[in-house]
Amino acid sequence: SLPIVAVVGRPNVGKSTLVNRILGRRQAVVEDVAGVTRDRVAYDAEWTGRHFTVVDTGGWLPDAKERARAIATQAEIAAQTADVVLFVVDATIPPTSDDEAAVRMLRRSGSPVILVANKVDNARIEGEIASLWGLGLGEPFPVSALHGRGAGDLLDKILEAL
Ligand code: GDP
Ligand code: MG
């Protein structure tokens, strides 16, 4: 079976947009309203001749307490079943307590995690991502899932980690 890359993170950070960027086509559902992606959806992906499965996650509950737990649970499932986890944050705003709860889960799991700083649409935003080292997941990897900035480099990094 193919190696699995799971994409996890808070609602609206751009997980489904990133999945579409990885696939090179619009297939994952992108929504301006948080919380509508089904729980876990798997797609076949390919980059430079290598094939893998990419899993989009979502389905968060609206209630704040439930939501934090749901995100941490998704992170835990992803870490248990994936060969590499892409933990996606919105680089245009500071990390939230939900981000931090998921990070604690991922760090405990010991699974390989790539910290994806999404919505880095330009050089100015890229200049501000150094603070994300503070999450304790290593180097933040800047991309703009929407515009494709950094996407090829991220795919190379994913394949290195598989
Ligand atoms: P998800 O809930 O994490 O799956 O997030 P979505 O992929 O549905 O995206 C949520 C919103 O963020 C949508 O309006 C996207 O167009 C927007 N978005 C996603 N990636 C980027 C990006 O790289 N830059 C900008 N500016 N917006 C983005
Ligand atoms: Mg989504």
**ipTM for the assembly:** 0.99
DSSP 3-state of 61:
coil
pLDDT for 27 equals 79
Residue nearest to atom 10 of ligand 1 (CA): 12
C-alpha 123/C-alpha 97 separation (Å) is: 26
- How confident is the model over 66-99, as pLDDT tens digits? 777 777 777 788 888 899 999 999 999 999 988 9
Residue 159 domain-assigned (yes or no) = no
User: Residues 90-127: pLDDT tens digits?
Assistant: 999 999 988 998 899 889 888 899 999 999 999 999 99
pLDDT of amino acid 34: 52
Range of the domain at 44: 4-150
On whether residue 161 sits in a domain, the answer given is no
Domain CATH number, residue 9: 3.40.50.300
CA distance 132 to 102: 14
Rounded mean pLDDT of 12-20?
Answer: 94
User: Which residue of 17, 29, 56 sits with most ligand 1 atoms within 8 Å of its CB, as the best mutation to test the pocket?
Assistant: 17
Pocket test for ligand 1, best of 12, 36, 54, 144 (most atoms within 8 A of CB): 12
* Phi and psi torsions of 142, nearest 5°: -80, 130
The number of domains in the chain is 1
Please report which helix (H) or strand (E) contains residue 116, including its range. Answer: strand 113-118
Residue pair 143/125 in contact (Cβ under 8 Å)? The answer is no
* Report field, pTM of the whole predicted structure over 0.90: yes
Euclidean distance between CA atoms 86 and 54, whole angstroms: 10
Asked, for residue 36, whether it belongs to a domain, the answer is yes
According to the model, what pLDDT value does residue 95 have? Answer: 94
Q: Which residues are annotated as a binding site for GTP?
A: 9-16, 56-60, 118-121
Q: Is 95 in contact with 122 (CB distance < 8 Å)?
A: no
Q: Express each pLDDT in 18-35 by its tens digit.
A: 999 999 988 787 765 554
Q: What is the pLDDT of residue 40?
A: 75
60: pLDDT confidence band, cut at 50, 70 and 90?
Answer: low
Q: What pLDDT does 85 receive? A: 95
Q: Nearest C-alpha to atom 22 of ligand 1 is from which residue? A: 119
